[in-house]
Structure 1
């Protein structure tokens, strides 16, 4: 697929707009305000360093066939409630969320501004030892026995390409949660697709 096809962006209120110095469009990423996130229990700390990899997760939730925006937003709120109320975290643990319909959303507050600036990372809670080393993206669904739908896959490629470009991360540094923690995440099927993901991202980046 062509770089411009995968990195087609939509500039709208609350969406991520391309920095002036950026040479290509960026994927639309909804802010925490767009999906009506709760305020964090306290401001998530920020580290002035660039992450060196991307970690791919799945939410281990139902594989909903509702691919709409409102469902995506409701799912993001469900994740935040789970992380704050059950896990006791200050906010959503992941930096970004990708719905089954391909809606990309900011997860932890401040992650979108950090990605735009490309000089810092919000401290996450998505993987021990990797919370300032890696950008964490949750993909809605459970991918132990099935692969993600096409729209979700395309948005994952687009997001990873933009994130790699922003932070100078080589596509070979895209990994799964299980590479750094004892877990089934991101599911056998999605994990098996990571070599393809690296290849497609590399192709987008030329």
Structure 2
């Protein structure tokens, strides 16, 4: 997939805009306000350092056929409720969320502004020991026995390209949750695709 095609998207309120190096806008990322997130119960911590890797997760939820924006937003709210009300966290644990329909969304408040700036990171709660070292992205669905749909895959590649650019992260530093934790996440099938993900991101970055 060519860089121009991969990064093409619509720019609007709460969406990422192109940096001067981009010939086209990047795929939009919806901010917390777009999907009507609850306020965090405490102010998320922001560190003036760059994360050094990306961690890929899956939500281990139903592989729904509903790929609408409305469903993506509802799912993001469900994750936030689970993380705040059941886990006792201050906000969504992951920095970003990717739906089966390819809708990219900010997870933890402040993550989108930090990504735009490229010089800071919000401390997340997606993987002990990696919450300030790695950007965590949750991919909606369960990928133990099936591969992710094309819409999700393409948006994941686009997200990783932009994140690698903003934070100067080498594509070789894209890992799965299980690389740093005793877990099945991000599922056997998605985990097996991580070498391809690194290759596609590297190819787009040139």
Per the shorter chain, which TM-score range? Answer: over 0.9
CA displacement 1:21-59 (0-9 Å, x = unmatched)? 332421100000000000000110000000000000000
Aligned to 1:190: 190
Q: Residues 27-176 of structure 1: matches in 2 within 5 Å? A: 27-176=27-176
CA RMSD, aligned part only? 0.7
Aligned to 1:23: 22
Q: CA deviation at 1:10?
A: 1.2
SS of 1:102's equivalent in the other structure is: coil
Matched residue count: 205
SS of 2:11's equivalent in the other structure is: coil
CA displacement 1:140-182 (0-9 Å, x = unmatched)? 0000000000000000000000100110000000000000000
CA displacement 1:45-75 (0-9 Å, x = unmatched)? 0000000000000001110100000000000
Deviating beyond 6 angstroms after TM superposition, the runs of 4 or more aligned structure 1 residues are none
Q: CA deviation at 1:9?
A: 2.5
SS of 1:73's equivalent in the other structure is: helix
SS of 1:195's equivalent in the other structure is: helix
CA displacement 1:71-108 (0-9 Å, x = unmatched)? 00000000000000000000000000000000000000
Q: CA deviation at 1:15?
A: 1.4
Instruction: Write the distance in 1 (CA, Å) between the matches of 2:22 and 2:74.
Output: 33
Aligned to 2:201: 201
SS of 1:55's equivalent in the other structure is: strand
Instruction: Write the distance in 2 (CA, Å) between the matches of 1:174 and 1:113.
Output: 21
Instruction: Write the distance in 1 (CA, Å) between the matches of 2:21 and 2:11.
Output: 14
* Unpaired runs of at least 5, structure 1: none
Instruction: Write the distance in 1 (CA, Å) between the matches of 2:2 and 2:15.
Output: 23
